[in-house]
């Protein structure tokens, strides 16, 4: 069992869980009664996509792919703050 087969086996065990979670999150995004539910689901989806991208960066052996994980995590944080600010003060302040 050399290293690459071990890595491939680990990822193939973990991938279905991530894909099922992404589908369930997108169901909540579409179904969400209020906008807060869907934004909460988008927030979780973005953070988990950031983790998924970091794992794919190992699989595709490229360091540039891992940089997008940080930006995606920060973007998800900004989305929540903009929504919170909009609902509190009716303006976003950009």
Partner 1 sequence: MISEALMYIGGILVIIGGICDFFGALGLLRFPHFYVRLHAATVGTIGGAVVPLIGAAILALGCDFLGWIRYPIAGMSFITAILILIVSPTATHALAFAAHRSKAIEWKEKVCDHLEGVKR
List residues binding partner 1 (CB under 8 A).
3-4, 6-7, 10-11, 13-18, 20-22, 24-25, 27-28, 34-37, 39-41, 43-44, 47-48, 50-52, 54-55, 57-58, 61-63, 66-67, 69-70, 73-74, 76-77, 80-81, 83-85, 87-88
Q: What own/partner pairs with CB < 8 Å and gap ≥ 24 does 3-12 have? A: 7/58, 7/59, 11/55, 11/59
| 53 neighbors 70 (Cβ within 8 angstroms) | no
**In the complex with partner 1, which residue's Cβ is closer, 13 or 94?**
13
Rounded to a whole number of angstroms, the minimum distance from the CB of residue 92 to partner 1 is 12
User: In terms of Cα–Cα distance, which of 85, 25, 80, 29 is closest to 51?
Assistant: 25
């Amino acid at each position: 069992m050399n290293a690459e087969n071990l890595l491939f086996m680990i990822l193939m065990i973990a991938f279905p869980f991530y894909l099922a979670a992404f589908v369930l999150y997108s169901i909540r995004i579409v179904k969400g009664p209020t906008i807060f539910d869907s934004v909460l689901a988008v927030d979780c989806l973005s953070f988990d996509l950031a983790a998924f991208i970091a794992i794919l960066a190992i699989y595709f052996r490229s360091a540039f792919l891992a940089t997008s994980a940080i930006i995606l995590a920060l973007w998800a944080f900004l989305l929540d703050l903009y929504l919170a600010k909009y609902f509190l003060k009716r303006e976003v302040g950009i």
